[in-house]
Structure formats: structure tokens, C-alpha cells
Structure 1
Amino acid sequence: MKNILFVLTSNDEMGSTGHKTGFWVEEFAAPYYALTDNGFNVTLASPKGGQPPIDPNSDTEDAATEATKRFDKDEATKKKLANTLKLETIDQKDFDAVFYPGGHGLLWDLVENKTSNDLIESFHSHKKPVAFVCHAPAILKNIKGSDGKPLVNGKNVTGFTNGEEEAVQLTDVVPFLIEDMLQEKGGNYSKLGDWQPYALEDGLLITGQNPASSEKVADLLIKKLQ
């Protein structure tokens, strides 16, 4: 059985706005069920361990999908989520791939988290897939490849678009815009229309544009591991 590591944010504050954030439920639930239904074992971790914060905006009826409805009734997975492992206890040798669900929360804790960054670089250098969806490609900001250049340099990547950030009225709140950052780091950034499902694979790197892209990212990861 292949083992997949999911890393979730521990941050529930949207900068200094006083608004709550966290991880986006759909971006956790859809890939989690896609992987576990295909026989993969998923381990959950976060910087602080324990229960990672759910973005309240992702836990509404408007944001509900088949995967989130399944999660709502899944007490076993909720219990597992309440007991995420501390990121510092994780060793990449125990896993076959790593996946980062999105949500705004990670912009303030995982992007600059050295443990997380070292882990991603270790996965990649050991020829294991690294996957990110929606806001999670922001974490690639400080990740370097074995050549010392940004990991995204020259690679086909996507992530939450400037237009999508504008649509949720957080352009002036986020520390940086993901689309701009990926291009600045030399990534070959592309996107579809706002909120359209879109995911890319380039070697070991898999990225998805937005919440609707979660299943596509999971599908690419599954194919990569089979």
C-alpha cells in the first residue's frame, strides 16, 4: 500500500484583518477520498499538530460538494483530522508522495515554514511527487530544486489566479499574489477561466488552479503513483 502525506495549515487568522481562515474543506476532502478509495493510505500532519482550522467560508452550503457532504457524515475521518501529527515528527522516507490542500490560512504559516520547505525539497530530491492545489502553490515560493534554482523555474504550473483573488476581495489582504509569484520565480504559469477545473503535471510537480481542481490534482497524483 502506498502512503501519502497530507500537510494542512495550522493558521486560522487572515493576516491582521480579524477574519478567520484555515484550510478549504473541498481541497482536503475530494483528494482524501479519491486516494483512500483507490487503496492509498493517507497520513495527516500540520505545523502545530492536532485539529487544523477549517476556513468557515468553505464549510457553507454554497461551498458544499459530494466530497464535503461525505466528510460531514464521516466521523472516523473527522477524528483523524482532529489528531494531525506535528510536522516536525515527519520523515519523507515513510511516504511515497506529499499533498498540500489549499485555503488562505497557509499563506501565513506554511510558506515560510522551514520544516515544510525542507520536507518538500526532500520528497522531490528523492524522486517522489509533490502536489498542491489552489492557494497551496504559494508554498513553492521558497522551494528550490537540486540545481539551486526555484523548483518552479521552467516548469508548467498553475494556482489561484489574480482574478479569483480579486473576486473574493482579498487582493490587498494576501501577502502576495500566487499567479505573480509563480511567474516571478520562472514558472511557466497558465490558467483557465476563473473557477474552472484545471491541473498540471510537470515531472514530479503537480499543481491545481482552484477548489474545483482538487479531484484533477488527485487523479494526476494517483496516475503518477500507479
Structure 2
Amino acid sequence: MAKKILVVLTSYGKMSNGHPTGWYLPEFAHPYDEFKSAGYDVTVASPHGGVAPLDPGSVNAFKSDESCVKFLEHKSIWENTVKLDALVGKAADEYDALFYPGGHGPMFDLATDATSHRLIAEFVEKGKVVSAVCHGPAAFVNVKIPSTGESMLKGKTVTGFSNAEEDSVSMSQYMPFMLEDKMREASGGKYVKADEPWGPKVVVDGKLITGQNPASAKGVGEEIVKALA
């Protein structure tokens, strides 16, 4: 039986300043290549279902990336997503791993989405692989595990988009919170990052896999495949 991956994308497409956002192209495209190479089945969901907005800035930034260009030919992957609430209560039994790509969108919807939080907690309690890259870990920072009442990140070594990286793209002022700060708080000070901004950084702590930035996306995909081997 092929392994099954559930990918959750943001439904948030425009920030308060009118700037378009969404999910970030290489953070799904690069892991997707790893999943398909391993023969995995991939299902894509989002809070609203239907079209999950792709950040147009990521399309332009990665227009010379072969993987990303190829991925853009398969729009049905992200334009026909399953609504998240259809998966709660059963997906953790059906799927082998849960993966959240980044982009700024997750900071605004998945960080506070109760349905997503419940889904993540179910995967954690079933001992399944739970993973995210860049801003994707925003989906984890407010998740409490029902059996303990504690943060799913407590005591876990984790990474995600850093304050320095947010500052360097001049987006800090528009964020509802700084992801590095929230991850550091939720983990009990166990947030780590690459030596230099934009360097690849992937952290594996048990069944929890996190990546810092776009350069880390392929590595996150590779670690998910290793964890399921």
C-alpha cells in the first residue's frame, strides 16, 4: 500500500495592506517531488476548500526553478482542495503524515484555525509524522494536545521562518506575530535556526519535522520520506 500524505494549504490570499499572499510555491513543489518519487498518494486540503491561493510573488521569484515551473502545470492540485472539516476525526487514521507548506497565509488563518488545530492534535496523538516548513509551523504554535493540555511544541526542538528573515523582506510590520518568537515560547526555548538567514535548516524531533525557509523545503520532504520508510 502506498503511503498517504495529507497536505494542508492556507485559504488566506490578501493581507490588510492589500498585498497578495497565500502559500509559497517551492515549499509545496519541492516536497511534492519527494513524495511522488517515493510513490506516495497526496491529498490537499485547506480551511475553505476549493482554490487555495498561491502567492504570486513566489511564482515570479522561482520562475527559473525547474521543479516549480513543472508543478505549475498541475493547478488542479491546489484548485480543488478538500475542506478541512471533512477530515477531522478520520484523517489521522487514514493518512501516514501531515504537512503544512508556508507562505505568509498560514500566519493569518492556520495559526488560529480550530479545525486545523484539532486535526494536528489527532495526528500527534496517533503518533503520526507531523511536518511544516517556513511559515507553515504557524499552524502549530497554538495547538494544545487534549490528553495533556500542553502545547504540541513543548520541549521539542523546532525551526521556522526567523525574525531576521521576516525583517529582511520588510514584512514584520504586517504580521500578527513573529513566528520565531512564538515558536521559541511554545517550545520552551528550543527554537533553532541556520547560522545565516536563508540558509537551509531542517529539524527532526521524533515524529515532528520542521524547516526554516524556502531553502529547507526539499530537505523537509526528504525527511518525511525517511520517517515513513
TM range (shorter): over 0.9
1:83 aligns with 2:84: no
Change (3 A) 1:98 1:64: farther
Number of residue equivalences:
222
TM-score, structure 2 length as denominator? 0.93
CA distance in 1, matches of 2:11, 2:154: 28
1:221 aligns with 2:224: yes
Percent of aligned pairs sharing the same letter: 45
1:162-184 alpha-carbon deviations (Å, 9 max, x no partner): 00000010111101111111111
Show the 5 A alignment for 1:143-162: 143-145=143-145, 146-162=147-163
TM-score, structure 1 length as denominator? 0.94
Shifted more, 192-201 versus 143-152: the winner is: 143-152
Judge conservation of contact 1:153–1:187 (CA < 8 Å) in 2: no
Q: State the AA in 2 paired with 1:81.
A: W
Q: RMSD value over aligned CA atoms?
A: 1.2
Change (3 A) 1:64 1:151: farther
CA distance in 2, matches of 1:115, 1:97: 17
Q: By how many angstroms is 1:31 displaced? A: 0.7
2:193 counterpart (179, 186, 191)? 191
Change (3 A) 1:62 1:37: closer
Q: By how many angstroms is 1:144 displaced? A: 2.1
CA distance in 2, matches of 1:177, 1:12: 19
1:66-89 alpha-carbon deviations (Å, 9 max, x no partner): 3202213x3xx3123211111111
* Structure 2 unaligned blocks of 5 or more: none
Show the 5 A alignment for 1:1-150: 1-14=2-15, 16-62=16-62, 64-72=64-72, 74=73, 77-90=74-87, 91-92=90-91, 93-145=93-145, 146-150=147-151
Q: By how many angstroms is 1:147 displaced? A: 2.4
